[in-house]
Chains A and B, each alone.
Chain A
Amino acid sequence: MLKELLESIFRNVPSGVGRAGKVKLSFSDLDEVLANGARWAVDKGYGTEKDLEHLEENGCMKGANPTKVSSEARKRGAPQLGTLGAGNHFLEIQKVDKIFLPEIAKIFGIEKEGQATVMIHTGSRGFGHQVCTDYLRILESRFRDELRKLPDRELVYAPSETKECEDYFSAMACAANYAWTNRHMIMHWIRESMVKTLGMKLEDIGLEVVYDVAHNIGKIEEYEIDGKKRKVYIHRKGATRAFPAGSPDIPKDHQKVGQCVLIPGSMGTASYILVGTETAKETFYSTAHGSGRVSSRAKMLKGFRGEEVARRLTQRGILSRPASWKVMAEEAPEAYKDIDEVARVTEEAGISKRVVRLVPMGVVKG
């Protein structure tokens, strides 16, 4: 059954490098996606109104302005909406392996060990990449003096309150909205595949959204700085927002316990659900986002073969459906740090608490 389900999802959700999606978008459709985020998806029949409550920013960041996005970005973005992509992006059918905090888990919708979950790890695809490339180029030529004082070209920035800063922020918000929409569509197709393969009604399967949170994003948030409340830019690059209990920016039903944090592991390893804490103030309410690479892609390709990696996963009872053997080799579990240690340290450091450990049963890999 799992094999059929995985096969059905693989056919229903386009994956792989640069693969085009099954939804044909005009540029004006795309602009609606960029401005309205996951709301657009719900209006078009993907997912429901209720899902939006469990998306960071309800799936739409304010201030998104499609006119600040280049036509190159549009050209890359329009055909790719509703695709998984490649690299470390994946889609997993998992089961609950361990519950650390049962009461909080219950609030997040995790009732018991052995319960099945689905995790989607993907983002803004070529669109977000192009927005980044475009603005790096703009900033590099506009802020040469500022760049000269920096030790790394990639750190080029736009001073706050400049036109370039506002423009970039509006374009980045478009990319965030694209990503929420992308994941929402993929989730909808997974639900479709489940209903079809299991021959059950969606209400009986469940499959409600636990949470959707970004881990490469810039946000304007308010913090007390030197005794004064100030709005600041928080840069979360490879970092997940982890707001504590009582935060007005998290779903109402989570406010008692804190924000739900998702840490996807690498292919074939565990993933974690955590909860935000007040002590994460030191990291401006940010926590880890994954297991972190230890071996480069090139190194992995030398030492591993994709077929072998898939075979070893099967031996451990994990089915895989890769779009490419090369990516399988690059993303072998050996390429990453130990996710259990990362999650343990995250808790010991006080920047979020472990709620649930999930292990994969089936993987769709781009």
Chain B
Amino acid sequence: MALEKWLWKKISLFGILSKGRNKIKEVNKIRLKEKLKKIGPCLWELPKEAKLGMKVPAWLFLSETLLKEVEEGAVEQVANVAFLPGIYKHSVALPDMHFGYS
């Protein structure tokens, strides 16, 4: 009985923890897309302060409509490219940007 209670506690504690962790992940994700600043008619800038390690800003060429469909993971990928040493000016995402490598 005691063991059962103890196990239950552990399980529910784990549940809370993993929920919490997911929440932090979720918040972080929302933030990156929210950090985009509109700097032209079809141009958004992700400042290099948006993610620690970016050497230059990221430029995303999108309309409001296209931006709505852009996955958070895709914005993260343009941010990650801006980590590369020797990168000049900005990393670029084009209007057909999407998550993944294929």
Contact = CB atoms under 8 A, between A and B. Distances in A.
Interface of A: 87, 146, 149-152, 154-155, 157, 159-160, 223, 225, 232, 237-239, 263, 282-284, 286-294, 337, 341-342, 344-346, 348-349, 351
Interface in B32-72: 40-43, 51, 53, 59, 61-63, 65-66, 69
A152 B81 CA distance: 9
For the complex of A and B, list the 8 residue pairs with the smallest distance between their C-beta atoms, beginning with the closest: A292-B96, A349-B42, A292-B98, A345-B95, A288-B96, A349-B61, A288-B94, A345-B63
Contacts of B65: 341
Given A87-B102, A155-B80, A292-B98, 14 more contacts: A150-B80, A151-B83, A152-B77, A223-B88, A238-B96, A239-B92, A282-B59, A283-B94, A288-B95, A291-B96, A294-B98, A337-B66, A346-B95, A349-B43
A337 B53 contact: no
B84 interface: yes
Interface residues of B: mostly helix, strand, loop or mixed?
A: loop
Contacts of B84: 150, 155, 157
A304 B25 CA distance: 31
Interface residues of B, number: 30
Contacts of A349: 40-43, 61, 95
B80 A152 contact: yes
Given A157-B84, A283-B61, A294 B69 contact: yes
B96 A337 contact: yes
B101 interface: yes
A155 B81 contact: yes
A237 B80 CA distance: 14
B73 to A, nearest CB: 10
Contacts of A152: 77, 80
B94 A351 contact: yes
A233 to B, nearest CB: 8
A263 to B, nearest CB: 8
15 contacts: A149-B83, A150-B80, A154-B101, A155-B83, A237-B101, A238-B94, A263-B96, A283-B94, A284-B92, A290-B96, A291-B96, A292-B95, A337-B66, A337-B96, A345-B42
B97 interface: yes
Contact of B94 (A146, A225, A286): A286
A237 B93 CA distance: 10
A293 B77 CA distance: 15
A239 B100 CA distance: 14
Nearest to B92: A283
A292 B97 contact: yes
Contacts of A87: 102
A232 B84 CA distance: 14
Contacts of B40: 349
Nearest to B88: A225
Nearest to A282: B59
A256 B102 CA distance: 34
Contacts of A151: 51, 53, 80, 83
